[in-house]
Amino acid sequence: MLTKMTSRRNFLQSALATTSLPWLPACVFASPAEGIQEQGTSLKPWFRLSLAEWSYHRTLFAGKMTNLDFPAAAAELGFEGVEYVNQFFKDKALDKKYLAELKKRCSDSGVESLLIMCDGEGALGDPDKNKRRIAVENHLKWLDAAKTLGCHSIRVNAQSSGTWEEQAQRAASGLRSLTEEGAQRGLSVIVENHGGLSSNGSWLSQVIRAVNHPGCGTLPDFGNFNLGDGETYDRYEGISEMMPFAKAVSAKSHEFNDAGNEIHTDYSRMLKIVKGSGYRGFIGVEYEGGAHSERDGIVFTRDLLLRYQCS
């Protein structure tokens, strides 16, 4: 088993001469050497691929995979980074031995721990100030776990209630408090469009501006634009509004046609928005559909993204 990312890359480069690796971007085949200069060439990948753990949620809930197995499963499919979901190791945030083992599994598999998606820890925009404070405190253990694992962020929700302005003020208050805690640990706090007003790109952008802290940003998700009561927000407009604050990007997918295209999201259009914003980080595959097996859905999403990785 390869122990370092550089070793894994060297393996992939040497393999190019003898085998076909269809999940690698075309630019790797054209010039496998590292350090490709961006000037004068269009062959340099402008993003790297990570895998969101939710892509395997059915397998994990069924007990056919554990959180400790996840890094190796991601590496097997060629991903360089992993994005955890806290509910798959809910009771382990303070378990130093467990976190050390998880970190070792990542090192052994040659993948980077990027972020922890946190749910079920209270509403950071709760109308009750005391409950808002408790929600912030509940997230601290995940900041500590993320720091131990070497992540750059935790992903949180901007859940609230009330009018547009009331929710914006309350969410910004809770996020500011948590972001300040994250900054003390060298971590960012990022907010996903995850239902309700948070799926309104204009509202979420307003909240991030109100937090007014470089450690608070967004995790734009290609598919989470359900405002509730059957109402949706335009996904392309929403991504455009969130990208200026993005510290991660989630390529949500549900179903693919015979041409390998996602039937709900125009990935060509979406990735032009992402690239045009100046973003050059990881893009995380998050397959959530039921039309394909989880592994197939992940592979379809990965391969679709790779069409545009060197554009």
Query: Is residue 27 a part of any domain in this protein?
Result: no
Can you say how many angstroms the Cα of residue 26 is from the centroid of all Cα atoms in its chain?
Answer: 24
Please state, in angstroms and rounded to a whole number, the distance separating the CA atoms of residues 178 and 158: 12
- Distance, in Å, from the CA atom of 174 to the CA atom of 160, rounded to the nearest integer, reads 10
Q: Which domain holds residue 101?
A: 44-306
Determine, yes or no, domain membership for 167.
yes
Q: What are phi and psi of 125, to 5 degrees?
A: -110, 25
pLDDT string in tens for the chain (311-residue length): 444 444 444 444 443 333 334 556 657 554 444 333 444 445 799 999 999 999 999 999 999 999 999 999 999 999 999 999 999 999 999 999 999 999 999 999 999 999 999 999 999 999 999 999 999 999 999 999 999 999 999 999 999 999 999 999 999 999 999 999 999 999 999 999 999 999 999 999 999 999 999 999 999 999 999 999 999 999 999 999 999 999 999 999 999 999 999 999 999 999 999 999 999 999 999 999 999 999 999 999 999 999 999 98
Within-domain flag for 30:
no
Q: Is the distance from CB of 274 to CB of 308 less than 8 angstroms?
A: no
Residues 267, 262: Cα–Cα separation, whole Å: 7
Sequential DSSP letters for 219-251: E-BSS--EEETTEE--HHHHHHHHGGGBS-EEE
CATH code for the domain of 114? 3.20.20.150
Residues 217 and 247: beta-carbon distance below 8 Å: yes
d(CA 217, CA 193): 11
Whether residue 74 is contained in a domain is answered as: yes
- In three-state secondary structure terms, 199 is helix
Cα–Cα distance for residue pair 213/126, rounded to 1 Å:
20
In terms of Cα–Cα distance, which of 276, 230, 270, 233 is closest to 250?
270
Q: Which two tokens stand for residue 185?
A: 């640990």
CB 47 within 8 A of CB 280: yes
SS3 string of 73-88? HHHHCCCCEEEEEHHH
Check if the beta carbon of residue 301 is closer than 8 Å to that of residue 262. Answer: yes
Amino acid present at 240: S
| Residue 75 in domain | yes
Distances (CA, A) of 214 to 169, 176, 183: 18, 10, 9
- At residue 7, φ and ψ (nearest 5 deg) are -65, -40
Has residue 284 been placed in a domain?
yes
CA 184, CA 161: separation in Å to the nearest integer? 29
Query: What total number of domains does the chain contain?
Result: 1
Give the C-alpha separation, 98 to 68, whole Å: 9
Nearest to 213 by CA among 178, 170, 169: 178
Q: Give the number of other Cβ atoms within 10 Å of residue 266's Cβ.
A: 14
- For residue 83, the cross-strand partners are 52, 115
Question: What is the structure's pLDDT at 23?
Answer: 57
